[in-house]
Structure 1
């Protein structure tokens, strides 16, 4: 019986301790930490345990923020405010972001650049505003905890991943050692000062890759038919590490043999094709001199006019003495290939933070498809002295039409996955799962079964790339390679974690603690009296008698 009593008493005590606070747990996204050319950028610490306080402008002149986690809304952020909070020796900065939206890097860029000289020790986290709410009481009645210890972990061997597939053409000239080839290339990675929120939601980081996927689907339909297969080989290349000097594009160019390079007619790099802008730009590195390449530029301008838009050709010469490049096509242009980038940006510095405009993306994919159709099929008929086929864009109907559902499926997948290199290859196991995009529901169900049964990749996005390439293209190659500091133009080291589990406790006031303690004592005494009633009664009776005798 006494054992039971002790267990009950222990349970009551534990319950009392646990009930002293209320706890919620949610994901918190950490600001980027890197080391660049020996200089540290971003917060160097990620563990925290401190009371909270909301940011108020009038408190910047006081010491209210010292040793506290300062909570600030994203629309209140400025570089100067963040710097002043740091100067007040805050224990952490917690930024409340708008639900489902990424933090705007331009609000933090100046502050982030300044951290390399200030040795920022306090953690900086970003959480969705919907997860964080204070119900009654003072904001200082709460405590935020990230229960990690030690220093951040260096990613010792960061990697990039390229994907390549081919649609083989058919040439009647059997004496040819290798067919002429056209390369369509795009990158899928992004950059953000909050890596876990650096997804493909912005059109600048995903629209080129989505366009490449759709073009591979359209031309697979043509090339699988012996009556419509073209003479050209079409090579589709999806590259990583565009944000570090287009290392993925360089990796592909460097891996090509001399024979393969000589067979390439031109390289087309797709970039930022989902902008709301009507204007497109064809970025080139060499002024056109040969008739064939001039004809390609003319094809782009004619195709754009047929869709009521315009393409401006922008020439920027490559500085061969400088390893840095500004457009994806410049890496293959250094191999003396005819290369160009089709983009909605006039200059590489242009900021494109908008979501994808699917109407414009569909139009731009049709422009590219029309150029490829003209170049592939009208080249053939000219060689055979046949009449040029007009309005090849009219072929883009039914199954050859751009599938908006397919585009949107890919966009939804991109928007849920980390695409920043190298974090996309070391993503946490808790990353969101999603079904692999497909052109119809039957294919989607079949691919979902394949995904659930046989995938081993740590990132659903990479699984989807490989599945897409294997479904629509031939000779798929998945190329993993080390990200080189020398190739990026600077020595960059990346650190984890990029997200943590944050606990949010409501801490009771001292008066509440005192009242709770008294209530607990009374409760325990009552419980003891209940289980030991006879002994308790005798004790009280004895006490009463002794008191009476003393009187």
Structure 2
């Protein structure tokens, strides 16, 4: 799965290669070991201005446990890898564990199969509240990517094998007994261990930032088109996720990029004929650094001539416009009672209604000095 991450030059972060690994789920018995390999995906690690985020550790070799086993405040989990299905996850408890830097051998988070790209259209989990699960994942991702976690964190997708093992671990943790399994009529004591052998992560040289822009001059009035007002249409082309190997940018923000390119194509055809050219200049921008307070956009804007900046009468940023459903959200930083915003919103609503869509208005004041302003809401 592609992860087209671009680093804003002003942040000087440190990146490391993060790849999908295999985790060995070992059931240790008296005479032999049974090993099951499971695809796992490691939590991202990076630095911003020398401050570490994510997890620096990758190697695992600890016994497996469930949250039930680790729920007691006196439990020693320093040599235990907790297996936690996201659908059952108590965000309050995991937030407490992470924020208070409690000891833990490792964490394996099980993602619902519904969120596999190949299962998007399947009926698996149709009885579940997918929106609720998705919101929980958004909160979990924000927590993990904004924390410095002192133990390895991995993700895996639920399947019949790992669910059966987890159910057994959970039952035996509840009884205070080690996990067991019965095979061929004989009972054997299993001690489940999760093992990942991984080399130390190495620093990746930060790539240079890259922005792409296009310009369509409006209809000339009394000579110079530079005196016309300008409409800017912008989309950030990065994607970012807690597990880089699972980052899917089709809607964050591939859909915004596609929408911008299609708008540029249509208006390019219109502006090629003076009779259909508008009295606005059109500025198109594909910017980098979206996950980090849109620093690529900041650098792009600063490169403009002051006259161009002052001519921008209206700007729209396209993000996650390809989400399933028939709703779009207009995000604004100024109060909704602003007359200009109301006019824009009414225009969007009228056109959307004709297309069978709904447009909502979301107001959020943004601290532009905060280097970690990352939008997670869907819309334009």
Distance 1:82 1:223 in 2: 53
Shift of 1:46: 0.7
Unaligned runs of 5+ in 2: 1-31, 116-133, 166-180, 183-187
Distance 1:326 1:36 in 2: 9
Partner residue, 1:323:
369
- Structure with more of its chain in helix, by fraction: 1
Unaligned runs of 5+ in 1: 1-19, 328-347, 354-360, 365-551
Residues 31 and 125, structure 1, Cα contact 8 Å, conserved in 2: yes
Which residue, 301, 308, 322 being the options, matches 2:346? Answer: 301
SS across alignment from 1:323: coil
Which residue, 52, 57, 70 being the options, matches 1:45? Answer: 57
Shift of 1:304: 2.5
The 3 A distance-change label for structure 1 pair 279 and 326 is farther
Which residue, 83, 86, 97 being the options, matches 1:71? Answer: 83
- Structure with more of its chain in strand, by fraction: 2
SS across alignment from 2:267: helix
Which residue, 123, 141, 164 being the options, matches 2:213? Answer: 164
Which residue, 45, 68, 80 being the options, matches 2:93? Answer: 80
The answer to whether the aligner puts 1:107 opposite 2:132 as a matched pair is no
Residues 26 and 131, structure 1, Cα contact 8 Å, conserved in 2: no
Which residue, 266, 271, 276 being the options, matches 1:228? Answer: 276
The TM-score normalised by the length of structure 2 is: 0.59
The answer to whether the aligner puts 1:126 opposite 2:155 as a matched pair is yes
Shift of 1:260: 3.2
Q: Over residues 213-241 of structure 1, what are the superposed CA-to-partner deviations in whole Å (9 max), with x where a residue is unaligned?
A: 33223323423456534454322112222
Q: Over residues 85-131 of structure 1, what are the superposed CA-to-partner deviations in whole Å (9 max), with x where a residue is unaligned?
A: 99895532211111252771413655776x54xxx442110012239
Distance 1:158 1:288 in 2: 42
SS across alignment from 2:276: coil
SS across alignment from 2:224: coil
Shift of 1:187: 2.1
Greater Rg by CA: 1
SS across alignment from 1:57: coil
Shift of 1:205: 4.8
Q: Over residues 252-282 of structure 1, what are the superposed CA-to-partner deviations in whole Å (9 max), with x where a residue is unaligned?
A: 1111123433554433333454575857546
Q: What is the count of residue pairs matched by the alignment?
A: 301
Distance 1:139 1:221 in 2: 72
SS across alignment from 1:34: strand
Residues 219 and 277, structure 2, Cα contact 8 Å, conserved in 1: yes
Shift of 1:302: 3.9
Partner residue, 1:508:
none
Shift of 1:283: 2.6
The 3 A distance-change label for structure 1 pair 142 and 225 is farther
Partner residue, 1:34:
46
Shift of 1:146: 2.6
* 1:369-380 correspondence runs (5 A): none
The answer to whether the aligner puts 1:186 opposite 2:235 as a matched pair is yes
Partner residue, 2:315:
267
Distance 2:285 2:82 in 1: 45
Identify which of structures 1 and 2 has the higher relative contact order when contacts are C-alpha pairs closer than 8 Å and 6+ apart.
1
The TM-score normalised by the length of structure 1 is: 0.43
* 1:348-497 correspondence runs (5 A): 352=377
Q: Over residues 22-46 of structure 1, what are the superposed CA-to-partner deviations in whole Å (9 max), with x where a residue is unaligned?
A: 6555542222323456544332211
Shift of 1:298: 3.5
Distance 1:95 1:163 in 2: 38
The 3 A distance-change label for structure 1 pair 230 and 194 is same
